[in-house]
Amino acid sequence: MAEAIQKKLQLELEKYQQMQKDVSKSMSARQKLEAQVTENNIVKEELDLLDTQNTVYKLIGPVLVKQDLEEAKATVAKRLEYINGEIQRYEMLLKDMEKKSEQHREVLSSLQQEYQRAQGRAVGKV
Amino acid sequence: MFRKCQCQLLDVDIWNVVPFTFSCFLFNSSSMRTCQTSRKLPCSDCVVKGCEDQIQHWKNVKGDYEVLEDRLKTLPDKVSYDIMVPFGPLAFMPGKLVHTNEITVLLGDNWFAKCSAKQAQMLVEHRKKHVQSALDDLHKTKKNFEARVGFTEDLEKLSDGKGGYVDIREELEGVVCKGKRRVSLKPHSKPKTEAIVKMEEEEEEEMLNAEGSKRGVLSEEELWARLDELEAQEQQEEELDRRFDSADTNGNDDTTSSSSEEEKDEEGDRPAERSKGGTTMPLNGSQVDRTALPPRDGGKEEQEDDEEDDGLPTIHFSHTVEPKKVRINTGKNTTLKFSEMKEQKQQAKRKKNNGTSNGHSHHGLHITSPTDIYRLFVDVKNGEPVPRKSILKSRSRENSVCSDTSESSAADFEERRTLGRSPSHDDNTYSDTGSAITEEDAPTGELPVPTSRFQAFSGTVVEKEPIPLSVPQLTIAPPALPTIPERKLEEVVPEAPQEAPQEAPKRVSKFKAARLQHKGP
């Protein structure tokens, strides 16, 4: 009886740990995205400071490719939107993961209690 | 291609590398955040260090930008410069710096822009703003966490026994309140002053100084074990004390929680829980006064500072049950010796109940609860013992309260007075004996007190009418009652004493009647 509970406990524990890893992965991804948002904001602002006389280049691999200022601005704006959307998505994901990990936690604690009770009973019997 | 490269070498383009560091920083700060969130007890120390590192980093960046700005200012001065061009990591070669006004700026995220030196300067200014704001944020967080670190240092000092902190301990031996626990009918009534309960609740809000009497000695594991014990204790006590709505303690919580909160967060709520064990009694004036008069049984003994093993000088503190000489001002400028008369009557009653009669009184003061106080501190009016109104309830306390001859209460007296005044109308629900009063009682009862609201002493000594304890009906309409009588007071003061005596004989509560009946046969 106790062994069965122990096995269950182990399984749950592993699942919970997996969940935690996923959560932390999502969190770090989200943080990266936040960094990118800040960066792109700065780029946008600086592009606004320039005028059409300046040539804008984009680094694609080893090549600097000339770009139009307006085009560049548009591209940067689109990228910003995209990143924000990604951040939202990750946030939703994180929330769900949190809820799931909470449930797992509860299951774990109840299993633990059962296990302890079983242990106590076993000791009592002996 | 080679020529192009050479040209590129000669056209030294300034690549601004800073935006990458931006992202690096952001990532670092976020990793700092994860460090914080993943741990239950935030290491304020490591946060402060992290902040300092970041601040240093940003200061460097700022310095770099300033140097860059200067360079940009001077660069267009000449059409071309003769320079030594770095050629790999180990060599230089002579070359020329041309196109001195054409700057290719990295805007971030693989975007470049060719600008003049002046435009580049503008961009640099713009970036310096960002750096400055980041620096400001870091400074703020650093300050906040430094405060926390300060608290831990205080705690260490405390546990080491230095720093002038004194531990005040009081051993409570079996002082369990036998009195009836009163039900607080009002959600915000002032809780009954049970010494133990109050002390325990007070200790929750204790400042760091008075807390942690034993903390220094025990290790962390022991502390956690103790915490569990205390939690179990607390739960038991909570069941008993559920009704004691800590209106006051909540008030205190707000004020002191902000300061003690951080310690609590640090210690994982250990102090709050541990101190509920109820072995330290704070002598903080603002908190002690809540114990008011009654629970202090006899005198208080204060012993000299002791040096404890845990390194903290302690003051031992204990209640003794010695008969206190208490002067009672009844307003007539008579002083009743403490409970003599009532004691006699009580003893007589007891003896009668036991079938024997005994004329003399013995000063066996059996005060174990405020109930007893109210029983003992009685005015004798018209030959009958009329119980006094609770000192917590009435506003006329200043005239009729028992003035302690013991020194320690003198300081508290002021606070007790002010305390008793504000929620006095709420206290009226409490009643040991459960005696009810007619509604007429309250206005007269409250009349004398509010003089102090407007001035310290109105000049008239209003004789306190000995009225029975509680005014349950009255408290239901709190807003009107306290204010209206007060306003009336100014005009009505002279009349009040005349009114009261006339009313007194009429008002006999049924409980008092019952009591009198008891005594009679």
A32, A57, A64 member nearest B27 (Cβ): A32
Structure confidence at residue B374 as a pLDDT band (50, 70, 90)? confident
Q: What is the mean pLDDT of residues B125-143?
A: 91
**DSSP β-bridge partners for residue B113:** A56, B105
Q: Average pLDDT, whole number, for chain B?
A: 61
Q: In the prediction, which pLDDT does B92 show?
A: 94
**Whose CA is closest to B434, among B378, B514, B314, B338?**
B514
CA distances from B342 to A78, B281, B352, B357, B469 (A): 89, 32, 15, 16, 16
Q: In the prediction, which pLDDT does B160 show?
A: 74
Q: In the prediction, which pLDDT does A3 show?
A: 81
B22·A79 Cβ contact <8 A: no
Q: In the prediction, which pLDDT does B506 show?
A: 62
A28, A35, A43 member nearest B111 (Cβ): A43
Q: In the prediction, which pLDDT does A118 show?
A: 84
Side-chain half-sphere exposure of B370, counting CA atoms within 13 A: 24
Contacts B108 to A, Cβ<8 Å: 39-40, 42-43, 46
Q: How many CB atoms sit inside 10 A of residue B146's CB?
A: 15
B22, B23, B114 member nearest A54 (Cβ): B114
pLDDT reading at B446 higher than 60: no
Q: In the prediction, which pLDDT does B432 show?
A: 42
Distance (Å) from the C-alpha of residue A23 to the closest C-alpha of chain B? 11
B30·A31 Cβ contact <8 A: yes
CA distances from B132 to A34, B55, B128 (A): 19, 10, 6
DSSP B280: B
B19, B33, B112 member nearest A39 (Cβ): B19
Name the more confident of B411 and B384.
B384
* Interchain CB contact of A56 with B (< 8 Å): yes
- 3-class DSSP string for B75-109: HHHCCCEEEEEEECCCEEEEEEECCCCCEEEEEEC
Angle between helices A2-49 and B18-38 (to 10 degrees): 150
pLDDT reading at B46 higher than 70: yes
- Site from A57, A65, A79, A101 to mutate, B interface, most B CB atoms within 10 angstroms: A57
- In this predicted model, what pLDDT tens digit does every residue of B492-521 receive, in sequence order? 444 444 444 444 456 778 888 888 887 766
- Site from A41, A46, A56, A69 to mutate, B interface, most B CB atoms within 10 angstroms: A46
- In this predicted model, what pLDDT tens digit does every residue of B412-432 receive, in sequence order? 444 444 444 444 444 444 444
Name the more confident of B164 and B21.
B164
- In this predicted model, what pLDDT tens digit does every residue of B310-362 receive, in sequence order? 556 667 777 666 555 555 555 555 544 555 555 556 666 666 655 444 444 44
Name the more confident of B390 and A43.
A43
Residues of chain A with pLDDT under 70: 126
Contacts A72 to B, Cβ<8 Å: 111
User: Do B255 and B146 meet the contact criterion of CB atoms below 8 Å apart?
Assistant: no
B26·A35 Cβ contact <8 A: yes
A56-60 and A63-67: which strand pairing?
antiparallel
Q: In the prediction, which pLDDT does A37 show?
A: 94
Structure confidence at residue B146 as a pLDDT band (50, 70, 90)? confident
Prediction ipTM score: 0.81
Q: In the prediction, which pLDDT does B351 show?
A: 61
Q: How many CB atoms sit inside 10 A of residue B301's CB?
A: 12
- In this predicted model, what pLDDT tens digit does every residue of B251-310 receive, in sequence order? 444 444 444 444 444 444 444 444 444 444 443 433 434 444 444 444 444 444 444 445
Q: In the prediction, which pLDDT does B433 show?
A: 42
For B142, the enclosing helix (H) or strand (E) is helix B117-160
Residues 6+ apart with CB under 8 A from B129: none
Structure confidence at residue B18 as a pLDDT band (50, 70, 90)? very low
Q: In the prediction, which pLDDT does B387 show?
A: 63
Distance (Å) from the C-alpha of residue A57 to the closest C-alpha of chain B? 5
Contacts B120 to A, Cβ<8 Å: none
pLDDT reading at B8 higher than 80: no
Q: In the prediction, which pLDDT does B151 show?
A: 82
Among B18-22, B144-148, B218-222, B241-245, which is the least confidently predicted range? B18-22
- Please tell me the distance from the alpha carbon of residue B201 to that of residue A93, in angstroms, as a whole number: 43
- Please tell me the distance from the alpha carbon of residue B133 to that of residue B411, in angstroms, as a whole number: 51
A35·B104 Cβ contact <8 A: no
pLDDT reading at B462 higher than 70: no
Nearest chain B Cα to A43, which residue? B107
Name the more confident of B466 and B370.
B370
* Percent of chain B's residues with pLDDT above 90: 14
Contacts B126 to A, Cβ<8 Å: 45-46, 49
User: Do B324 and B409 meet the contact criterion of CB atoms below 8 Å apart?
Assistant: no
pLDDT reading at B443 higher than 70: no
pTM of the predicted structure, to 2 decimals: 0.41
Contacts A36 to B, Cβ<8 Å: 23, 109
- Please tell me the distance from the alpha carbon of residue B161 to that of residue A119, in angstroms, as a whole number: 45
B26·A42 Cβ contact <8 A: no
A35·B107 Cβ contact <8 A: no
Contacts A40 to B, Cβ<8 Å: 108-109
Domains of chain A: 1-124 (1.10.287.370)
- In this predicted model, what pLDDT tens digit does every residue of B48-92 receive, in sequence order? 888 889 999 999 999 999 999 999 999 989 999 999 999 899 999
Distance (Å) from the C-alpha of residue A4 to the closest C-alpha of chain B? 30
